[in-house]
Chains A and B, each alone.
Chain A
Amino acid sequence: MKYRYWFATLTGISQREKLSLLEAYGSAEEIFWNWEYQKEKAHRIPGEAAKALEKARVQPDWENRYLQMTEEGIELVCVDQPQYPERLKQIYDPPYGLFVKGGLPKGKHAAAIVGARSCSAYGQAVAERLAKTLSGCGVDVVSGMAYGIDAAAHRGALAGGGATYGVLGCGVDVCYPGRNREIYNRMQLQGGLLSEVAPGARPLPFLFPLRNRIISGLADVVVVVEARERSGSLITADSALEQGKNVYAVPGRVNDVLSYGCNWLISQGASILFSEEEFLRELGVFSPPEREKNKNLMEKTLEKNERLVYSVLDFTPLHIDQILRGTGLEFTQAVVALFRLQCLGLVKEITKNQYSKTRLT
């Protein structure tokens, strides 16, 4: 196993090259020991990579690091092992090894939900609800644990009770970004954290586009919720298409900067995510989610002013002045209604004195 670790943490050599070496030698252990004697087997490996490999063989402390990793409860799953995710094996350049904290996707279906980091409250609500529905139906939700849409998708999936997997651009023992610590901790128990880079690796910018191919590789389908014109989510969508997976985009208004990427994907032929049921049907999941019947319920429980305030609210945060103008209520009336709506969890103060709905009706 430790040779697998050595081979998986090898840098300076691409995943494709690793796979071809593996094919030639048979196993990581063979590569480690017989590298010098059977050099002719590695004739397809460029000189640079060969040098990196040579150097790594004589590095002294990799065994210690391997022991440390096992002590921390991080697992390594390699492409030549049966538990390696089948879907990921199919892609052009699957990572040789996956470092895992928690578990690996086991469900029949998996969907990736990705999107912008600095997203709107609307995008968050969409991602959260979709992930909740999916995980409630037993679909694994895969994302990148970034701020914004990614975090919302993980949160939704955790709330839905299903498993959710975060593919990190750093070592799995590094919680990046740090403020997602809560979902990071919960995902270890309810899903897992995966990464192709060695534990302890710092989050370096070039690692993030690379991990996107794993996100799409682990899923049957990729949903882009919100993306700007040049967004990392579009890289995920690209790799999904290369891997022959279906890409869905959540459509947005024409002038929304955050929907530009999604609308562009649609114009390029991506599927439109317009209804959760339809999406689930196309995914092949047939447990109809119990439709939240809270619309009528809400109408009944809300008082007149609260209903009035709720009706002017949207997912674009509205300042209390705008609410006052929209409803024509007195200041105190509006304040009281807003307070009640917040207590019911229907409305959230996104930032100081700006309110938005929390859920899609």
Chain B
Amino acid sequence: MYSVVNTAVLRGMDSVVVQVEADVCDGLPAFEMVGIPSSEVREAKERVRAALRSLGYRLAPKRVTVNLCPADIPKRGTGFDLPIALAVLSAYGLLESEQLSRTLFAGEVTLSGSLKGIRGILPMAAAAGRAGFSQVVIPEENGPEAGIVKNITILTAGSLRQVIGWLRAEASLKKPDIIIEERDPEKVEVDFAQIRGQQLLKKACEVAAAGRHNLLMSGPPGAGKTMAARAMAGILPALTEEEQLELARIYSVSGRYQEREGILTQRPFRNPHYSITRTALIGGGRIPQIGEISLAHNGVLFLDELTEFARPVLEQLRQPLEEREVRLVRLGGTYIYPADFMLVAAMNPCCCGFYPDRNRCSCTSASIRQHLNKISRPFLDRLDLAVEAPRVTVDELKEPGDGEASAVIRRRVEEAQKLQRVRYREEAFSYNSQIPAKLLSGYVRLTPGAKTVLTQSYDRLALSARSYHRLMRVARTVADLSGGGDVGEAHMMEALLYRSLGDELWREMP
């Protein structure tokens, strides 16, 4: 007999509906599976056989053929277990239900017959809705993430037995509890008020957040760089609904939905160790997996100890930083993962970390240069802001933390971003850091005073054309933080404070 059950397979950030066909006929007893199944899909037959036996089904020894259609897409993932089990049962004539054709099934089955969660439920449910299915049956574990999909009924089951019961109309399946997280937006993981001293660093963080600039912090160990980076996520404006959905999708596809609490309210903060590989950072593999930069989408990617990252790994970031997505081309197709993140990096100024405190640092200028040269110039060029975070003195530690709270800073950041949204409503970009060079003169107007400052600095600091553009963008953000309008003298001077390390590698270093 022949039967068909619908399921879906992940393809990049998207999902494609797949039919699981099963045919049972006489002949040498066998269980054949075709349609480019990967090894975990191929293993499904063992799980299904054992699970069905544990449910009490005695399948007659016959020739069983399972086809995954369309047969030209590579299939991977463990979600095929449930549809295969149902297709086999129905092909044996043990299960009949008109629900089968209206429903999409996905889920992993254990030997005892219970259901386990799988990756990428969110795009699968969305694909089911698009393809006109009326309901989706998924494991209970995946309930919360599928719950946010609208326009389709989601049903969750804890075991294969429950699903069969529901198909026979003997039992009913639960709808997932949709947990809308009520989170206090004022509550943040690390608050800027907790960071002692570091006025310049805090200012720079605010500017970076307001214009979505990338930030490089250098300074001795223990200055508070990591803490500031963590606090960064808290001063970015709250996620919009669209951004929430995008993030939920990314985390669903990467199978990390459960890992992160508050996925819908908090901006992600990713902090990979410097031993990370290229693939883990930007994503990849034969069928590309999602990398750290996509997990940091709409949030902060923090690279601590920047000089310790392998250089080829950092170079990979250049394209996603420009295009705000990562494009992985494979034989099977091109996979595009969103990667619109803010890059925050931290490093020590020299190998020992104490330069220019010459009583503690005896690094030669050659070794300092070598240290800085671990990061390529083109990469440094993509970091708009650079600041030095000094060592915190004992006095500062004793002082009460009277700094501004993250919530106060965030309000200013939100105001500045509102200005930008209005200004760039007809453009393809929405932040100051993204203004293309040719539009700079139109969007960044300087007061005569600011122009003087710029010309005075141009020669003194030996600025290049590239650093000039960067300076203009940063100055625009500084001016936006003080209410918009033309870029004034003081704004330009402040922007000069943050100028990138790539501009001048300490030319006359003693």
Contact = CB atoms under 8 A, between A and B. Distances in A.
Interface string A318-342: 0111101000000110011011001
B227 interface: no
Contact of A118 (B349, B362, B388, B456): B362
Contacts of A118: 358, 362-365, 510
Interface string A297-318: 0000000000000000000010
Contacts of B199: 320-321, 324, 331
23 contacts: A117-B364, A118-B362, A119-B510, A124-B510, A147-B510, A177-B366, A228-B362, A255-B359, A257-B359, A320-B497, A321-B199, A332-B490, A335-B490, A336-B493, A343-B456, A343-B460, A350-B356, A351-B355, A351-B509, A352-B218, A352-B388, A352-B506, A353-B497
Contact of B387 (A257, A336, A350, A352): A352
Contact of B510 (A148, A321, A352, A353): A148
Contacts of A148: 510
**Best-surrounded residue of A255, A320, A322, A353 (most CB of chain B within 10 A):** A353
Contacts of B390: 319, 321-322, 353-354
B203 interface: yes
**Best-surrounded residue of A118, A342, A352 (most CB of chain B within 10 A):** A352
B12 interface: no
A120 interface: yes
Contact of B200 (A120, A332, A353): A353
Contacts of B200: 319-321, 353
Interface string B469-506: 00000000000000000000110011011000100001
A352 B461 CA distance: 12
B358 A119 contact: yes
B490 A353 contact: no
A155 to B, nearest CB: 9
Contact of B493 (A179, A257, A322, A335): A335
A353 B387 contact: yes
B489 A257 contact: no
Contacts, number: 88
A256 interface: yes
A343 B349 CA distance: 25
Contacts of A322: 390
| Majority SS at the chain B contact face | mixed
Interface in A137-166: 147-148, 152
What band does the interface of chain B fall in when counting residues whose beta carbon is under 8 Å from A? 20 to 34
A124 B489 CA distance: 32
Nearest to B453: A339
A261 to B, nearest CB: 13
Given A147-B365, A352-B349, 4 more contacts: A342-B460, A350-B356, A352-B388, A353-B390
A332 B501 contact: no
Contact of A120 (B198, B358, B365, B506): B358
Contacts of B123: none
A121 B497 contact: no
Interface in B343-358: 349, 355-356, 358
A338 B363 CA distance: 28
Contacts of A321: 197-200, 390
A324 B447 CA distance: 26
Contacts of B362: 118, 228, 257
A44 to B, nearest CB: 42
B386 interface: yes
Interface of B: 197-200, 203, 218, 349, 355-356, 358-359, 362-366, 386-388, 390, 453, 456, 460, 489-490, 493-494, 496-497, 501, 506, 509-510
Contacts of B365: 117-118, 147, 179
Contacts of A332: 490, 494
A258 interface: yes
A327 B218 CA distance: 24
B358 A257 contact: yes
A321 B201 CA distance: 9
Contacts of B387: 352-353
A63 B388 CA distance: 56
Contacts of A336: 489-490, 493
A148 to B, nearest CB: 6
B291 to A, nearest CB: 30
Given A147-B365, A352-B349, A256 B356 contact: no
A16 B312 CA distance: 55
Given A335-B490, A353-B200, A353-B497, A319 B358 contact: no
A125 to B, nearest CB: 10
Q: Which 4 residue pairs of A and B lie closest in terms of their CB atoms, listed nearest first?
A: A319-B390, A353-B388, A352-B388, A339-B493
Nearest to B366: A177
B358 A339 contact: no
B501 A352 contact: yes
A321 B392 CA distance: 10
A353 B200 CA distance: 9
Contacts of A331: 199, 203, 494
Contacts of B358: 118-120, 257-258
A256 B453 contact: no
A169 interface: no
A158 to B, nearest CB: 14
Contacts of A120: 358, 510
B359 A258 contact: yes
Contacts of B489: 336
Contacts of A317: 356
A222 B506 CA distance: 30
A123 interface: yes
Contacts of B460: 342-343
A324 B200 CA distance: 10
Nearest to B490: A332
Contacts of B356: 121, 317, 350-351, 354
Nearest to A177: B366
A152 B494 CA distance: 30
A353 B497 CA distance: 7
Contacts of B386: 352
Interface in A230-259: 255-258
A354 B358 CA distance: 13
A41 B217 CA distance: 70
